[in-house]
Structures are given as structure tokens and as C-alpha cells.
Amino acid sequence: MLPLKEFSKALGVSLWFVFLTFPLMVVKVDPIERIIRYRWDNCAYVAVVTFTAYLLMKFYNLRKMRVGETKKEVKESKNIIHSILNNKKQMVVLCSIVLVIAAVFPQIFSSYQTNVMTTALMYVVLGLGLNIVVGMAGLLDLGFVAFYAVGAYSYALLNLHFGLGFWAVLPIGGGIAAIFGILLGFPVLRLRGDYLAIVTLGFGEIIRLILENWGEFSQGPSGISNIPRPGFFGMDLSLASSITYIYYLMVIGVIITIFVVNRLQDSRLGRAWIALREDEVACQAMGIDKRKTKLVAFSLGAFWAGIIGVVFAAKTTFINPASFTFLESAIILSIVVLGGMGSIIGVIIGALILILMPEYLRALSEYRMLAFGGILVAMMVFRPQGMIANVRRTYRFEKKE
């Protein structure tokens, strides 16, 4: 039974939410009749929902202590999710089902749905790239979109001035972005935490402002248009065929990224990243080159962002600096945090949810972003470690008899 003070707190929280959402949920301006309509029923809905949600959350916390809840969630995650990942037969069956669904997706759904799924797959790769920097190495990077922009503009400018095609620029864009990652890594080798986040945020804004103001180099705010789509052995593809083609390219790209990131995570370098994330001083005391480890993390994460930047430019056929704002970095970071830092399968699921959910919540009209934000807040309250937490590896020494 909840104490009486919790009901008074729930009432205060509901009134506060009513106050915050009043301009959006209650007030509606009618420009035709030039009057303001007040939708008081929406006000009541917000109050009831927040009041009930607060009481349910408190009741949930009273039944299970936070420490015990976290241990149980990690144990359940390990028993269910990680047992499937560690079981080869179940893993083969699961991968086969996913690959079959991915293969037939364009034939079942429309070109619009295929295009949306292609965008989601692009963010899967971006999330896995940032997961190397944030999830494994523990380096908070808020300027990840800068490498994304470098890859996109590499393709646009090399095609505009030198006529290079998609396949020729794809590795070049990734390489240029990796070089920028190393250039960012050198000044921030001694920084950590909030200071590192501020510097990387500034780096991302510097790249965007250079692209926006250096008109002779990047065409300025007008952007670059008529960027050619990927070719297929010289064949002229229609718009629908190009969307399907790019979709299959991204499916292959996601498979390659998962394979490479998984191998990196299990390698000596991956263990060095995890050690760096856990304790930087102890990592250096164990003989790990901290500078080299950080630079490799920044460059590899930037490489994947540059690759997807090239794909983005080819997919949209138009880019401008407005496509690479801080909001993009925040979304990619949210994918990593929501899915579970360091967890590959968690990042994949987090990317699919964060990118597809706003698209399929369009039925809620102007309330979809409010619902989207509410779902994220609920997720952070009930599972702060992410949807699929990365289980720490343990080693047990057994004495031979």
C-alpha cells in the first residue's frame, strides 16, 4: 500500500505536466476564424495519465528494490538474450529468419517503407560506429555527426569536381573521415567526461559552420544537388529500383559492420577499449598505450560514419549543412544509450526503434513527438542500463583434482 504522501506527490507531478503541455495539448489557434480554442478534455487526459503513471512507478519501486531489480534484469537478460546468442543452433535459426525477412522486405512493402527501412539500417551502422567510441572505449563523443558530414561532402565534392563515382569514393570518404577522427583524437587525449563532450561538440559545430560559410568550397547553405545514386554495372535504374538497390547495399553493409565490430570486441584491441572505459589509470598501469587505443577508437568510429555519409549523399542526391546538426549526434548517441552501451544487438534494436517509431507514430499527428519523448523517459526510468545490457565477462578458475 502506498503512503498518503505519494498521492500528494502524484497530484503535484500531474499538475506540473499539465502546465508543461498546456500550450501544446490544450491551446489551439484557429487562423481562419481568428479565435483560440481550449481543449480541456486533453488537459484532463494528461492529468489522469501522469497521475496513474507516477503511482504505478512508485508501486513498482516499492515492490522491488533498485539493486535487486537491476540484478534480476541483468540475470534475465543473460538467461534469455545471451543464451540465444551463445547457442549456435538458435543463433543460426534466428539469423536465417532475419535474413529471409530482410531479403523479401522490398517485395512485400512499398518503396516508401523500403526507403524508411534503409534509413533505419543506416542509423544501425552509425550506432555501431559510435558504440566503438562511447560503448566500448567510454569516450563521450557529441560531435559524431561531423564525420558523417565529412563522408557525405567527400562524395558530393569529388563527384562535382572530378566526376568520381559512388564505388570509387566509398572507401575514400571513410578514409577521410578516419583522418578527421585522428585529428580530433590528438587534442582530446588528456580529456575525459564532460570536458571531452564539450570539445567534441565544438568540433562538430566547427565542421558544420565551415560547410555553411565557406561557399566557394561547399556551395554554402544552398548545398549540392544532383548527386548520382550508386550504379549497378552501368545500368540505368529507375527511382524504385534505386531505392531497392540501396536497401540491399545497406543490408550487406549492416552484416559486414556487425561482423567487424563483433570481431573487434573480442580482440585484444576490444579488451583494451573496455579496460580504458572501466579505469583509465589502471589501463595505463597494465601497459596499454592509452594514446594509441583512443586514436584507434576515434578513427574506426569515424570511418563507419564516413561510409554512411557517402551512402546518405547517394541516397538523397542532395546535401546541405542543415542535414548535419547536433540533433543527429544526439539521436545516434540516444541509440547507443537506449540499446545498451557496448551491446551490439542492443544498438541494432535501439536504432530500429528510435528511427522507425517516430515514422509510425505519425497517426498521432502533433502528439507523436510528445509520445516519443514519453516512451524514452519511461525507458530510462525502468531500464537505465538499456534494453539489452552488455553482460560483463567473468572468468572462473577451477582447481583440478
Q: Which residues contact 230 (CB under 8 A, 6 or more apart)?
A: 166, 167, 242, 245, 246, 249, 314
- Average of pLDDT values for 313-330? 90
DSSP annotation string for 94-125: HHHHHHHHHHHHHHHS-HHHHHHHHHHHHHHH
Map grid coordinates 480541456 to a residue. Answer: 40
Task: Give the span between the Cα atoms of 359 and 350, in whole angstroms.
Answer: 15
Query: pLDDT at residue 75 above 70?
Result: no
The pLDDT score that the predictor gives to residue 372 is 67
Residues 102-147 pLDDT 10s? 899 998 888 889 999 999 999 999 999 999 988 888 888 888 999 9
Task: Give the span between the Cα atoms of 272 and 267, in whole angstroms.
Answer: 9
**HSE of 171 in the Cβ direction (CA atoms, 13 Å)?**
1
- Average of pLDDT values for 223-235? 84
Q: Which residues contact 159 (CB under 8 A, 6 or more apart)?
A: 165, 169, 227, 228
Three cell numbers written together for 45: 487526459
Q: Indicate the pLDDT class of residue 281, thresholds 50, 70 and 90.
A: confident
Query: pLDDT at residue 74 above 50?
Result: no
Query: pLDDT at residue 6 above 80?
Result: no
319 bridge partner residues? 224
Q: Indicate the pLDDT class of residue 304, thresholds 50, 70 and 90.
A: very high
Three cell numbers written together for 323: 542535414
Task: Give the span between the Cα atoms of 212 and 224, in whole angstroms.
Answer: 12
Task: Give the span between the Cα atoms of 357 and 369, in whole angstroms.
Answer: 10
Three cell numbers written together for 394: 567473468
Q: Indicate the pLDDT class of residue 2, thresholds 50, 70 and 90.
A: low
Query: pLDDT at residue 240 above 90?
Result: no
Average pLDDT, the chain: 82
DSSP annotation string for 26-45: IEEEETTTTEEEE-HHHHHH
- Within 10 angstroms of residue 182's Cβ, the number of other Cβ atoms is 14
Three cell numbers written together for 105: 522486405
Residues 153-194 pLDDT 10s? 999 999 988 888 899 999 999 999 999 999 888 888 777 778
- Average of pLDDT values for 72-79? 48
Lowest mean pLDDT, pick from 39-43, 209-213, 251-255, 397-401:
397-401
Query: pLDDT at residue 309 above 90?
Result: yes
Query: pLDDT at residue 79 above 70?
Result: no
Q: What is the pTM of this model?
A: 0.79
The residues spanned by each domain of the chain are: 4-63, 109-382
Query: pLDDT at residue 14 above 90?
Result: no
Three cell numbers written together for 241: 529500383
CATH architecture, domain 109-382:
Orthogonal Bundle (1.10)
The pLDDT score that the predictor gives to residue 327 is 85
Q: Which of 129, 127, 135 is closest to 389 using CA atoms?
A: 135
